[in-house]
Structure formats: structure tokens, C-alpha cells
Amino acid sequence: MAELTATISATMETLLESKKYSTLRDILSTLNGADIAALFEELPHNRISLLFRLLPKELAAETFVEMDGDVQEALIRSFSDSELKEIVDELYMDDAVDLVEEMPANVVKRILSQADPETRRLINEMLKYPDDSAGSIMTTEYVDLRPDMSTEDAIKHIRRTGIDKETVNVCYITDERRRLVGTVSLRDLILYPEDEVMEDIMETNVISVNTLEDQEKVAEQFAKYDFTAMPVVDGEGRLVGIVTVDDAIDVLKDEATEDMEKMAAITPSDKPYLKLSSWEIFKSRIPWLLLLMVSATFTGSILSHFEEALQTCIVLVSFVPMLMDTGGNSGGQASVTIIRGLSLHEIEFSDVFRVIWKEIRVALLCGLCLAVVNFGKLMLINNTGIWVALVVCLTLVATVFCAKLVGCTLPILAKKIGFDPAVMASPFITTIVDALSLLIYFKFAQLFLHL
């Protein structure tokens, strides 16, 4: 894929140099906005602005929204005022808002000055919604109809106003106070006779979200109800916009990425990895590494505390990595399963005892199985003698037990008190379980080996 893009980009540069503009336009017109944007990524900025001008107006807007922020900025800087106005007029409202949010202040000023007054008002309105709220990702292009319209009126209304709407697959019925009272699909408008009235055929059981609703919750509603667009209403139930399914998909992908980053002890970032500078990556990773390093010194101090015991039976040291790793892995398995279950709402706080009971049984099964294998290995290969083997294997069972218990309860408790459960993943659990496993190890050693 990457190689192919590079080849096509090279072809385009050759055509560009020999000024074969009409051939270029023909090639570009057969492509999709997302593909053209990917091609442009491979070209120098001055080439892009030349090629971009060859695109038909609608395709140009489609391509523009798919491009990275830095390319968009360079392009806007190369635009004349009238070129900029053309693009801004062609953008969907949610894309225009995204653009304004990403560009530096002087570019934003130019964009807003070229937008028509109504667009400018809407952009400013939408910028006020909190980050990651339904209001911040919604678009204001939708078709609204009145309850007393006939299907014929409705289709006429769509013909008159619907060209620019991002989605007219579903039309929204609002009353005289702009409150959302029902929905009608475009399919129904076509299938019903011309004189049917909206209020008779509309679906009145409308699921909508509030402007302030978290975008993650909105995306989950899409996954649950199989919608292609979700109406967004204000505090008084008035329709103010819609969220389309493509934005919901982006949110779902971003939230999964964020959870994975948090689970790996990284502060999440919006940008893709290759666009981040080393310094930015460093800043997203170092706080957690520092925190976990300092916490791990407690584990070290447990080892120091038992220094004398260790010196008399130094063979015990060689099992420390295995015990620590197995504890960390066992705890990580439980915590990641529970964190994902919580974020998909498959697990709720009320399930906490069911979860604990399940993990206890799993922990005993895993712990016993690991202990048996390890006991065999210690007796047959390492020849440690039965008492050391017993200490190691009992510790293993106890460690896995504690690890699973800590791993499954911490994320649920974190969520209950309003913390992000994703942070309670392997690195955090490992640090706690390491200390626990060493304490257990030395207690068993004192008991059975009389150190």
C-alpha cells in the first residue's frame, strides 16, 4: 500500500513537470478524497497546492478534510481569499469546526473572515461546547420537517434545501418550538403515498443525546442501536445538530487507542505516532516511568529487609524474577479483561462480587497448574530439594491469587470513585503485586526454611 502510493505520487510529479494538467485532473477525478489526501502526503507542499487547484470543487473539499493539519495549514496559506472562501463554503459544519480548532490563530482569523456570517455564527456557537462532548462533534447540516407536512411537501422541501445536508437518510420532525418530536427515513418518504402526513408515519420513539453528553457515550449508542446518525438536542429538547456514524467510528477508534495507551502507562495523545516529536513522546511516557520506578523501590526495600535471610540461602534470589513476572502477568490478565469489560459496559459495579468469585476460581486453577509444573521442574531439573521447591510453589499459588484479586478489583473500584480504570492496568498492578509476592515469599521461607 505504502509502496503503491509512492509510485503513483512519482507518476504525478512527472506529469506535473511536463505540465499535463488535463491528464492529471482525469486521474485525480477517479479517486476518492481519502486516497488523494494519502497521495498528497508524499509530495512537497508547493506541488500539493498546484494539484489541489485541479480538483473539482466538491472533491477538493472532500480531500481537504482528509489531510493532516500541517498540509491544510500550508494550503490555506497558499490560497487567495476567494479560493479559501470556496473551500470553507463547501465544508460540512463539523469539519469546519475541526479545522478552526486545529489551525493557529492567524489562520483561524482568515478562515472566519472568509466564511459567510451565518457559518461564522455557527462555528463560534459550536466552539463553545466542551471538548469531547456531543456538541463538539455534531454537524448542523440536517433536514428538519414539520409534523403537518405531507410526504409530497417533504420531498419538495428536501429538493429545495437538501443538496448540502451531510445526511438526509433520516429526516427530523420538529414542532413549532424546534423540539424534536419524531424521525422519518428517506426510504419511508419514497415508500408511503404522497398525501401521508409526517405525524402519522413518523417514528416517535426517538433516541437522542444531549449536547453535553460525552462523545464516548454517544459512540456507544451508535454501537448499541445501529444508527447512521444520532440527533443532538439542547437542555430544552430542541434539535441543534446530528452526529453522523463516521464521527462515531472515529471516536470508538480513538477511545480504544487511548485505553491501550493508558494501560501501557502512557499519557494519551491525539496525534499519530510518526507525527509526534521525540520530545512529545518523552513527555507522555516519563511521568509514569518515574512514578512506577519510585514505587518499585518499595519492592526493593522488602528485599533489603530480608538481606540476612537471603545471604544464608542465596538460591532463593534466583526465583525472584519468575515470581515477580508471573504475578505481574496474572494480575495484568485480570485487570485488562475487567478494564475492557467496564469500558464496553459489559461489567458494572454491581457485578463486583460475581467478578471476584470468578477470578478466585480462575486464580486457584492457574496457580495450582503453574505450581505443579514448577514443582516438577524444581525437583527434576534444578534439584533444589523439597523444602525450597515447596516455598517457591506455595508462593506461586498465593501470588497468582493476590494478583488476580488485585487485578480484578482495582479497576472496578477506580471506576466507582470516578477514576479512569484503564490506568489500573499491568504496570500499576505489577508494582503492587511485586511487593506482595516478595512478602509472601519470605514469610513462607521463614516458615519452612527457618531462616
Window 231 to 290, contacts with a second copy (CB under 8 A): 244-246, 248-250, 252-253, 256-257, 259-261, 263-266, 272-274, 278-279, 281-282, 285-286, 288-290
The binder of a second copy chosen from 27, 54, 197, 292 (CB under 8 A) = 292
φ, ψ dihedrals at 398, nearest 5°:
-65, -40
- β-strands 180-185, 209-210 pairing: unpaired
Q: How far apart are the first and last CA of the chain?
A: 63
Q: Which amino acid is at 432?
A: I
Smallest distance from the beta carbon of 101 to a second copy, in angstroms? 19
CB of 81 to a second copy, least distance (A): 29
The three three-digit cell numbers of residue 2, written as one number:
505504502
Note whether 409 binds a second copy by CB under 8 A: no
Mark the segment that binds a second copy (CB under 8 A) among 7-15, 70-78, 235-243, 342-350.
342-350
* Identity of the residue, 87 or 438, whose beta carbon is nearer to a second copy in the bound complex: 438
CB of 112 to a second copy, least distance (A): 26
Gap between the Cα atoms of 375 and 106, Å rounded = 70
> Least Å distance between CB 445 and a second copy?
14
Residue 223 binds to a second copy (criterion: CB under 8 A): yes
Q: Which of 181, 184, 240, 324 binds a second copy (CB under 8 A)?
A: 324
Q: Indicate which single residue of 332, 410, 414, 415 sits in contact with a second copy (rule: CB under 8 A).
A: 332
Cell numbers for 69, please give them.
Answer: 493539519
| Site track for a second copy across 56-85, x = CB under 8 A | ------------------------------
Q: Of 182, 231, 241, 328, which one interacts with a second copy (CB under 8 A)?
A: 328
> Beta 229-233 vs 239-244: how paired, if at all?
antiparallel
How many chain residues interact with a second copy (CB under 8 A)? 119
- Is 319 among the residues that bind a second copy (CB under 8 A)? yes
User: Under rule CB under 8 A, which residues in 24-53 are in contact with a second copy?
Assistant: 29-32, 34
What phi and psi values does residue 347 have, to the nearest 5 degrees? -125, 130
Interface map 364-393 toward a second copy (x if CB under 8 A): -xx--xx--xx--x----------------
Return the residues of window 202-221 that contact a second copy according to CB under 8 A. Answer: 205, 207
DSSP string, 143-196: -EE-TT-BHHHHHHHHHHHGGG-S--SEEEEE-TT-BEEEEEEHHHHHHS-TT-
Pick the closer one to a second copy by CB: 39 or 84.
Answer: 39
Q: Give the number of C-alpha atoms closer than 13 A to the C-alpha of residue 362, restricted to the C-beta side.
A: 17
SS3 of residue 203 by DSSP: strand
> Are the C-beta atoms of residues 213 and 134 closer than 8 Å to each other?
yes
C-alpha atoms less than 13 angstroms from C-alpha of 353 in its C-beta half-sphere: 1
Does residue 303 interact with a second copy by CB under 8 A?
yes
Helices (H), 306-319: 307-312
Dig out the grid coordinates for 194 from the structure.
404522497
Sheet holding 180-185, edge to edge: 144-145, 170-174, 180-185
- Least separation in angstroms between residue 311's CB and a second copy is 6
Residue 273: exposed, middle, or buried by beta-carbon count in 10 A (0-12, 13-18, 19+)?
Answer: exposed
Among 326, 405, 421, 424, contact with a second copy (rule: CB under 8 A): 326
Cell numbers found for residue 84: 479559501
| Cβ-based nearer residue to a second copy, 12 or 334 | 334
Does position 416 interact with a second copy (CB under 8 A)? The reply is no
301 touches a second copy by CB under 8 A: yes
Question: Least distance in Å: CB of 142 to a second copy?
Answer: 13
Burial (CB count within 10 angstroms: exposed 0-12, middle 13-18, buried 19+), residue 99: buried
| CA pair distance 353, 183, nearest whole angstrom | 42
Q: Which is nearer to a second copy, 84 or 363 (CB)?
A: 363
Q: Which one of the spans 126-134, 181-189, 232-240, 440-448 is the region binding a second copy (CB under 8 A)?
A: 181-189
Q: Return the residues of window 112-151 that contact a second copy according to CB under 8 A.
A: none
Q: Identify the residue among 56, 300, 376, 385 touching a second copy (CB under 8 A).
A: 300
Q: Is 362 left (phi over 0), alpha (psi -120 to 50) or beta?
A: alpha
Q: How many CB atoms lie within 10 A of CB 229?
A: 23
Q: Which of these ranges, 14-22, 119-127, 133-141, 420-428, lies near a second copy under the rule CB under 8 A?
A: 420-428
Tell whether residue 340 is a contact of a second copy (CB under 8 A): yes
